[in-house]
Homo-oligomer: A and B are copies of this chain.
Amino acid sequence: MATLADVARHAGVSTATASRIINGSPKPVADALRARVLAAVAELKYVPNAHAQMLARSHRSAVGVIVHDVSDPYFAEITRGLQRVAEADGRLAIICNSYRQPDRELEYIDLLHAHQVAAIVIAGSGYLDADTAARLDDRLRAFEATGGRIAVIGRHEHTGDAVMPDNEEGGFLAAAHLFELGHTEIAVIAGPMALTTTYDRLAGLRRAVRKYRRKLPKERIVHSDFTRDGGVAATERVLAEFPEVTAILALNDSMAVGALAALRGSDRRVAVIGFDDMPIARDVTPSLTSVRLPLTELGERAMRLALSEAGDAPRVEHIAAELVQRESTWAL
């Protein structure tokens, strides 16, 4: 492993000069030396040790990202936005999957803290009991206390910079759409109640129920997990238990796709509306009506927030939801 000292020796200069030449410092250097140093770099295949650099200049550059799971399309799209902005800012984004496990999240926060990242963006945490939430907040504060910046995506407990997808409004839009089409007997297949996503979307939905003066019996909200197979299972329960239901509102597209799959194996004709408008929505049959959230933009905004100077007051940005109508919903 060639070091700066090797390069300097090889070129017959001091490490100071070598460092200045390699990093393009403003200090003027004779062209002859510059050439010699650059030649030495090439010959020794010198690559500076990033850790030593970080330590010496003690300025933070990388940023950390903690998401539920990058492979999940929802987070993949958010992550894309995050990365794009980080990269445009010349920063390495270290991305970590928490799989919604608070301990992992905790662990990663410390890891990123230890790696001296300039900022941490968190999206899609799991359920937090008061105790865990407190510990997490504690770690986050500790990180902030050292000058680190934090931005979260869609988490209420956090008091700090955040960008919030308007899940409540989205829930309202979805339910309103079904009511407008004349569906009165609807069922909801939802993710775990502990996720704020679930909570908020349900809240909007209930607002629509009230506004349209409909009923939504509690047992018609079936909880499962936010996956395709979770959607299949939940839909099977709905079909078995509620023969009167004519529309299913799925709280995300994965579940909606599962609903469509379950429906395919039954003789019932039930409308389905999803949430998130993932790319697949166009390609299932029938194509899926969904509530679109501009996830890439969500990520971009969050990263920009994280990279901006800390303000006096916490900044919260909202991202609007929008209905995309396709073939899986129709007028009754």
Report which A residues bind B (CB closer than 8 A).
Answer: 1, 45, 47-55, 70-71, 73, 76-77, 79-80, 83, 92, 94-97, 110-111, 113-116, 138, 142-143, 145-147, 228, 257, 260-261, 264, 279-280, 282-285
List, sorted by A's number, 23 A–B pairs whose CB atoms are closer than 8 Å. Answer: A1-B146, A45-B142, A47-B113, A47-B143, A47-B146, A48-B114, A49-B114, A50-B51, A50-B114, A50-B115, A50-B116, A51-B51, A51-B116, A52-B55, A53-B114, A70-B70, A70-B95, A71-B79, A71-B80, A76-B76, A94-B94, A261-B283, A280-B280
B47 touches A114 (CB 8 A): yes
- Whether the pair B76, A110 counts as a contact (CB closer than 8 A) is no
A223 → chain B, closest Cβ, in Å? 22
Tell me whether A45 and B145 are in contact in the complex, defined as CB-CB below 8 angstroms, given that A71-B76, A94-B92, A260-B283 are known contacts: yes
Interchain CA distance A213-B283 in the complex, whole Å: 35
Q: Cα distance A92–B50 when bound, in Å?
A: 16
Are B284 and A261 in contact, with the CB atoms below 8 A? no
Closest to A114 in B: B50
Q: Would you give the shortest CB distance from A14 to chain B, in whole angstroms?
A: 21
Q: Interface majority SS on A: helix, strand, loop or mixed?
A: helix
List of B residues within 8 angstroms of A116 by Cβ: 49-51
Contacting residues, chain B, for A94 (C-beta < 8 A): 92, 94
Inter-chain contact A1/B280, CB cutoff 8 Å: no
Q: Chain B's nearest CB lies how many Å from the CB of A138? A: 8
Closest-CB distance, A176 to chain B (whole angstroms): 27
A97 touches B83 (CB 8 A): yes
Residues of B within 8 A of A115 (CB): 50-51
Considering only CB atoms, which chain B residue lies closest to A69 in the complex? B80
CA distance A77 to B143 in the complex (A): 32
Selected from B52, B96, B143, B283, the residue in CB contact (under 8 A) with A228 is: B283
| In the complex, the 8 A-B pairs of residues with the closest C-beta atoms, listed nearest first | A285-B285, A71-B76, A50-B114, A45-B142, A51-B54, A51-B51, A1-B146, A50-B115
Are B51's CB and A55's CB within 8 A?
Answer: yes
**Chain B contacts of A70 at CB under 8 A?**
70-71, 76, 79, 95
Q: A49-B116, A51-B115, A260-B283 given; name 18 further pairs at CB < 8 Å.
A: A45-B138, A47-B114, A47-B143, A48-B114, A50-B111, A50-B114, A50-B115, A50-B116, A70-B71, A70-B76, A70-B79, A71-B73, A92-B96, A94-B94, A95-B95, A228-B279, A283-B284, A285-B285
A138 CA to B49 CA in the complex, in Å?
A: 18
Q: How far is the CA of A279 from the CA of B48 in the complex (A)?
A: 42
Contacts of A55 in B (CB 8 A): 49, 51-52, 55
Q: Distance in Å from the Cβ of A299 to the closest Cβ of chain B?
A: 11
